[in-house]
Chain A
Amino acid sequence: MSDINIIKTTPPYIHSNNTPRTVMLQMSCVLCAVLLCSVFYYGPRVLINAAVCVLACVGFETLMSVMVRLPNTVKDMSAVVTGLIITLASPAGAPAWLMIVMAMFAVCIAKAPFGGLGHNPFNPAACAIAFASISWPNIMLRFPSSPQVLPLFADIPESAFGQTVQTYLSSGILPEYSFTDIFLGSAPSAAGTGCYPVLIACFILLAVKGIIRWRITVSFAASLGIVALAFPRAGGSLDSLFLELFSGYAVFAAIFMFTDPSTSPKSTASQYIYGVICAMLVTVMRRYGMYRESTCFALIICNAIGPTLDRWVAEHSERRYTVHAKVRK
């Protein structure tokens, strides 16, 4: 049994109140704040989408629990968080049936077959969004301009859609929106990813509460910013820094999806490296990729290399015994 490593410390042992359920509850409260923002920009249609998606996620989670004859895992609230993230990272005008399909993909294919919460190698929400972006690109990659009140159930008229900042950047010209508009969410983007002041506030709150792995977000933003400064696609360096950071759903993903506790690396060093790799992939995919919104694809690739990073850092660091004990619980 010499193989098991335990951290030896002296008392007192302080008990943390963080359980999966409380963490997920706090996450969903924060996501609800973002949801309110997107209701402010796009009208109550987002609320309907969120309700449909969350209900579908919870329903499929129950179904999968019944199928494998395990106790129902709905109570840990992770299905609610997945549903909210899917809603907020897809366009506000997405039809309700697409929400149900994405919920099914996230829970029944990306999460439950691997063993449920904490065992999924890939972020379920990112998988669902990637699946929908590949399958229905003309729904998922066209965003209505903001702010406007979308019709509740009818299809979105063609005139409601606008050009995203990424589209402008990829054709090498500066967007026609002012920087204040972009920062406050008045440029077309996915439902909940436009309002950057609220997102940054959410990030600070979650980081202070110790719920998310903030190092990933910080190193991601820093690397993305450095590359944007060095190699601008349009305008000057500072324009490029602002536009690359505050466009698409990179910031939203960096706060809520990259830091997912079950798919991101555990040790400090590997979290920084993970953020840098994510940023490089996002940059490369934005510049040379087929899809304008490719953060979810970058995230899935990063999820695949996350455990290897942890192992590599553990093998090459002096504190590897501590890290091992953490990895293995």
Chain B
Amino acid sequence: MPKSENRPGRQSGYRRRVHSTLVDLVVRQQGRSEENSLRGVARTANIRDTLEEYYPKQGAKNPAQAFADGIFGNNPVLFNALGVVLIVGSASTVKNASLVALVAGLLMVICEFCASLIYKRLPPALRLACYVVTSAAVLYLLSLFLFDNYSAEVSAVGIYFPLICVTGLVTMRAESYAIHNTPLCAVADALGGALGFGAVIIFVGALRELLTLGTVGGLRLGVTHFFPSANLAFFTFLILAVFCAGARQARAVYRRAKRRHEEEDKEDDR
């Protein structure tokens, strides 16, 4: 075992994290010495571990905290990588982005409410089907209204419009948070998550629209040098990656400051 593992404080943040992950993998792998070693590495990157890390079974206890967490602390896009396909596929202008954000938000609220009220009594295998059926039914009713009034936007979103009902935004948050909590908390979480998702998708939509067409929400700004490939999927992935990195850094800084503040408070009490 390398010496430096015992004193991680001496390394800088980035290298320490990489190093501790590697050490973790090696330690776990030694437990599986009979198995093929390289397969062992693949197996340790278990999806269950990842899920438990990102979706703790018990989240915020009170509705206000759940709402705030949904907006930033547990933002579905920035920290859980949910709904990325909607952003990449459909957020080409602010109008499309806001349509998708509104529909997805509504589906989230209804699904999480139903999940915390009824579906938590069902066996896990049935729940997923229930989420999808519920959101598909709601989406069908919505589409009757939207096709009449906003047909241009709906056809611009294209295949991603029906796909909203099977996105992880709806199912994962219901499965990870709503079934463990009261309906009020679940609705607050859904509203916060919808706001968080909406903020990100509208911002990305605005950026893409500005770079490709030179407008934001239909308003012409004084930008003349256009960058047409901003409308391609890879560019959106890059933008999202930069956002996620920034948001994670901001959350880490915030949590560190908060912890320091709490420790100082404790010392003052003594």
Contacts and interface: CB of A to CB of B under 8 A. Distances in A.
Given A68-B14, A69-B13, A324-B38, A3 B30 contact: yes
B12 interface: yes
Contacts of B228: 135
Contacts of A70: 12, 14-15
Given A68-B12, A69-B13, A134-B229, A311 B30 contact: no
Interface string B18-42: 1000000000011001001110100
A3 B229 contact: no
Among A1, A3, A131, the most chain B Cβ lie within 10 Å of the Cβ of A3
Interface string A311-329: 1001100000000100000
Nearest to A134: B229
A149 to B, nearest CB: 29
Interface in B202-246: 227-229, 232, 234, 238, 245
A115 B18 contact: yes
Contacts of A324: 37-38
A131 B229 CA distance: 9
Contacts of B14: 68-70
A131 B234 CA distance: 9
Nearest to B235: A135
A68 B37 CA distance: 32
A3 B13 contact: no
B201 to A, nearest CB: 22
Interface string A166-193: 0000000000000000000000000000
A113 B238 CA distance: 12
Contacts of A131: 234
A134 B245 CA distance: 25
Interface in A53-99: 68-70
Interface residues on B, range: 10 to 19
B30 A1 contact: yes
A232 B136 CA distance: 52
B227 A3 contact: no
Chain A interface size, under 10 / 10 to 19 / 20 to 34 / 35 or more: 10 to 19
A109 interface: yes
Contact of B234 (A69, A134, A311): A134
A18 interface: no
A2 interface: yes
Nearest to A67: B14
A324 B39 CA distance: 12
Given A3-B33, A70-B15, A135-B227, A311 B38 contact: yes
Contact of A3 (B18, B29, B238, B245): B29
Contacts of B234: 131, 134
Contacts of A314: 38
A310 to B, nearest CB: 9
A182 B44 CA distance: 52
Contact of B33 (A2, A68, A109): A2
Nearest to A71: B12
B229 A135 contact: yes
Contacts of B245: 113
A315 B18 contact: no
A324 B38 CA distance: 9
Contact of A109 (B13, B18, B238): B238
Nearest to B232: A134
Nearest to A5: B37
Nearest to A109: B238
A115 B15 CA distance: 9
Contacts of B38: 311, 314-315, 324
Contacts of A115: 18
Contact of A315 (B29, B36, B229): B36
Nearest to B234: A134
A3 B227 CA distance: 52
A1 B27 CA distance: 10
B12 to A, nearest CB: 5
Interface of A: 1-3, 68-70, 109, 113, 115, 131, 134-135, 311, 314-315, 324
25 contacts: A1-B30, A3-B29, A3-B30, A3-B37, A68-B12, A68-B13, A68-B14, A69-B12, A69-B13, A70-B12, A70-B14, A109-B238, A113-B245, A115-B18, A131-B234, A134-B229, A134-B232, A134-B234, A135-B227, A135-B228, A135-B229, A311-B38, A314-B38, A324-B37, A324-B38
Interface of B: 12-15, 18, 29-30, 33, 36-38, 40, 227-229, 232, 234, 238, 245
What 10 pairs across the A-B complex have the smallest Cβ distances? A135-B229, A69-B12, A68-B14, A3-B33, A2-B33, A3-B37, A134-B229, A311-B38, A3-B30, A70-B12
Given A3-B40, A135-B229, 11 more contacts: A3-B29, A68-B12, A69-B12, A70-B15, A131-B234, A134-B232, A134-B234, A135-B227, A315-B36, A315-B38, A324-B37
